[in-house]
Amino acid sequence: MAKVYLIGAGPGDPGLLTLKARDVLASADVVVYDALANASFLDYARPDAEKIYVGKIADQHAMSQWQINQLLVDKAREGKDVARLKGGDPYIFGRGGEEAQELLKAGVDFEEIPGISSSIAAPAYAGIPLTHRDFSSSVTIVTGHENPDKAKSAIDWPALARSASTLVFLMGMKNLPDIARRLVEAGMDPATPAALVYRGTTPFQRSLVSTIADLPAAAVREKFTNPSVIVVGAVCTLHDELGWFEKKPLLGRRIVVTRARAQASGLAASLTALGAAVIQCPTIRIEPLADLAPLDRAIAGLADYQWVVFTSVNGVKVFWDSLRRKGLDARALHACKVCAIGPATARELEERGIYPDFVPAKYVAEGVIEGLTKQGGLKGTRFLLPRAAKAREILPEELRKAGAEVDVVPVYETVPACDGKDELLQALAAGGLDCVTFGSSSTVENFLAIVSADELKRHPEIKLAAIGPVTAKTLAKHGLPCDVMPEEYTIPALVQALVDTYN
């Protein structure tokens, strides 16, 4: 039987989505979603799932609430499982209870999957525990959306003012002056600590602590707007001591990752963990060559090679796929020594049971030549290089100069891609980019097909980061500077170089 799942997407940090929510999203036939703090959650949905936006922001409503209710019922009656994705928690000022009642009335099976509410998460990320033995033993969550012109408020302001409870107001920035006034008029000490947390748990989080009397003026002065959580109570004094999220070294920096999506996860995750707002715009896609017969022949003759040199993670993956197709495994390399250019390539081999005999100190072709030469004479030594279809020729040329016999076997190619192009161009137009990272020359060339070199030159505030000197030279070829380049040509070193640049 079809079912509707009312799912809480949490406050914005993608790591706060629950495992159950992720799994339901991955299996649902239809995803009905609000204006989410993190739209990347939609990536968990099936590629063929129907995705319907029903967000309501201020006066811009994609659908009315009754239309949303009817949509959920209709899709379920079509026999489709529906993931109704809502920001925060569906039952905390999310109208999830109303939707559940309508589903029940229509005879539609439903399930509620709780999410982490911004009322809890935003203060926590700002270093404000809502309860603390020294300050408060209870929490009151209040809507800040109530019309201040109502003849009689539904909120018991005197009770809130008298309580020792921590108060959390959601959706209250428009009414902040009225909220502060009502609390003080109801007897709250004007010096009671109060705080604002803007876009809590996201890379754009900001917070401030003041007093309930001064908070409205401080909000105007510091330009705080919605979405902000309002916290009132003595626990706000812990902000400076316990605040951790806003100390992240790349907080709020908008950084573009241009690597192929399959390769970008490590870089994107590292930058996100340091507080950056990552825009993934893969400018290349890695594809195995249509004709892998040359690789199959090389694998059949592995016993004739003394060395196999893997220049990239992609080369390792395609090589192993070919091994598996032939019913082989790591034992096929028993007669060969193995070289890996770079620690990422080495790790990829180690996961397959091969510990490289040589990893050069410098992760470029020149480093391979220097290191192999020190290990002994290369004359007459046979090398196999499974690599990209288009690559620098310096490695095979220098090996041959040293007397080695080299078989270069192309196994994959990089083809242009432009995923994330719209988000990139919107951020560029809004003047919201801090840095673009490039992991290879091909990412540079393909990125410049989306954003021209002349356009980038008009934005000197955008730093360009290259993984190494070869990529930096490609930037220079187009008259562009390389503002950031690590001494070690690895992703972790590139991340550290960005941290050093912005701190």
pLDDT value of residue 187:
96
pLDDT value of residue 417:
83
Closest listed residue to residue 54, CA positions, set 10, 99, 23, 97: 99
Question: Residue range 223-251: average pLDDT?
Answer: 97
101: pLDDT strictly greater than 80: yes
Strand, helix or coil at 237?
A: helix
Fold of 3-116: Cobalt-precorrin-4 Transmethylase; domain 1 (3.40.1010)
Predicted confidence band of residue 87 (pLDDT cuts 50, 70, 90): very high
pLDDT value of residue 421:
86
Phi, psi of 301 (to 5 degrees): -110, 25
pLDDT value of residue 151:
72
To which H or E segment does residue 415 belong? strand 405-416
pLDDT value of residue 55:
87
pLDDT value of residue 152:
80
Record the tokens describing residue 462, joined without a space. Answer: 């955008």
Report, as residue numbers or ranges, the catalytic residues. Answer: 34, 56, 171
- CA–CA separation, 64 vs 84, rounded Å? 15
Phi, psi of 387 (to 5 degrees): -155, -170
Question: Residue range 383-397: average pLDDT?
Answer: 90
Q: What is the mean pLDDT of the chain?
A: 93
Domain with CATH 3.40.1010.10 in the chain: 3-116
Percentage of the chain modeled with pLDDT above 70: 98
pLDDT value of residue 368:
79
For residue 231, the Cα-to-chain-centroid distance in whole angstroms is 28
CATH assignment of 254-283+417-501, among 3.40.50.1100, 3.20.20.70, 3.40.50.620, 3.40.50.10090 = 3.40.50.10090
Do 411 and 436 contact (CB within 8 A), yes or no?
A: no
DSSP letters spanning 320-354: HHHHHHTT--GGGGTTSEEEESSHHHHHHHHTTT-
- CA–CA separation, 352 vs 318, rounded Å? 13
Predicted confidence band of residue 202 (pLDDT cuts 50, 70, 90): very high
405: pLDDT strictly greater than 90: yes
Question: Residue range 478-491: average pLDDT?
Answer: 94
300: pLDDT strictly greater than 80: yes
Question: Residue range 299-319: average pLDDT?
Answer: 94
CATH assignment of 120-247, among 3.40.50.300, 3.30.950.10, 3.90.226.10, 3.40.50.720 = 3.30.950.10
- CA–CA separation, 313 vs 336, rounded Å? 19
pLDDT value of residue 365:
66
Q: What does pTM read for this prediction?
A: 0.84
Interval 318-377: pLDDT, tens: 999 999 999 999 999 999 999 998 888 999 999 999 999 999 877 666 677 778 877 767
Q: Which residue has the higher pLDDT, 38 or 64?
A: 64
Backbone dihedral region of 447: left (phi > 0), alpha (psi from -120 to 50 degrees) or beta?
alpha
Predicted confidence band of residue 261 (pLDDT cuts 50, 70, 90): confident
HSE at residue 266, side-chain half, CA atoms within 13 A, is 11
Preceding omega of 227 cis (within 30 degrees of 0): yes
To which H or E segment does residue 88 belong? none
Record the tokens describing residue 365, joined without a space. Answer: 């072709």
Identify how many contiguous H helices and E strands the chain contains and give both numbers: 19, 21
To which H or E segment does residue 224 belong? none
Q: List all residues 6 or more positions away from 191 whose beta carbon is below 8 Å from its beta carbon.
A: 211, 212, 213
pLDDT value of residue 59:
65
pLDDT value of residue 58:
63
Question: Residue range 226-254: average pLDDT?
Answer: 97
Domain with CATH 3.40.50.10090 in the chain: 254-283+417-501, 288-415
CA 169 → CA 143, 166, 227, distances in Å? Answer: 6, 10, 11
Q: List all residues 6 or more positions away from 104 whose beta carbon is below 8 Å from its beta carbon.
A: 110
Closest listed residue to residue 491, CA positions, set 319, 348, 386: 348
Angle at 185 between CA 179 and CA 189, to 5 degrees: 90
CATH architecture of 288-415: 3-Layer(aba) Sandwich (3.40)
HSE at residue 58, side-chain half, CA atoms within 13 A, is 5
Q: Which of 24-28, 83-87, 148-152, 337-341 has the lowest mean pLDDT?
A: 148-152
Interval 122-181: pLDDT, tens: 999 999 999 999 999 999 999 998 776 777 888 999 999 999 899 999 999 999 999 999
Angle at 438 between CA 432 and CA 442, to 5 degrees: 125
Domain with CATH 3.30.950.10 in the chain: 120-247
